[in-house]
Amino acid sequence: MNRNLFAAVVIFAVLAAACSDPIVPAAPTPVAPTITDTFTGTLLQGGSNSHPFTVQQVGGIRVSITNIDPSAAVSLGIGTPSTASGVCLASSSLTTVASDGAQLSGTATITGNFCVAVSDVGNLVEPVSYSVTVIHS
């Protein structure tokens, strides 16, 4: 009897171990942003421009519009490019003016294709030229 009970316990233990939840892999540790991309362009009245970039490692992202000439407030956004239209689908945006500091910042939790968008918020009376700096991993 003891032998049958022992065999049953061993079989149950093997089956229970085979059915247990898999161990979830540890999340990657975000790295400091070290890659700098600079984009320039001309923004037309009512227009929107998109600039793609690729994040190679999970880590920080900082976006700043460093120059707008002539000075104006514009929308600055970050998101992912649409595969159908090539338009930047911004997941975060704000209305801002040129500044040395980062206007948008966060952490890219995945690698892949991202984009920044610069758009008229309805106040441009003439085309403006701009520079955007993106620092990422």
Residue 112 lies in a domain: yes
Query: What beta strand segments (E) does the chain contain?
Result: 35-43, 48-55, 59-69, 74-81, 88-96, 104-108, 112-120, 128-136
Residue 19 lies in a domain: no
Residue 62 lies in a domain: yes
CATH code of the domain in which 89 resides: 2.60.120.380
* Domain total of the chain: 1
* 2-11 pLDDT, tens digit each: 555 454 444 5
Q: Give residue 92's domain range.
A: 35-136
Residue 24 lies in a domain: no
* 53-83 pLDDT, tens digit each: 999 999 999 999 999 999 999 999 999 999 8
Residue 128 lies in a domain: yes
Residue 7 lies in a domain: no
Residue 97 lies in a domain: yes
> Is the pTM above the cut of 0.85?
no
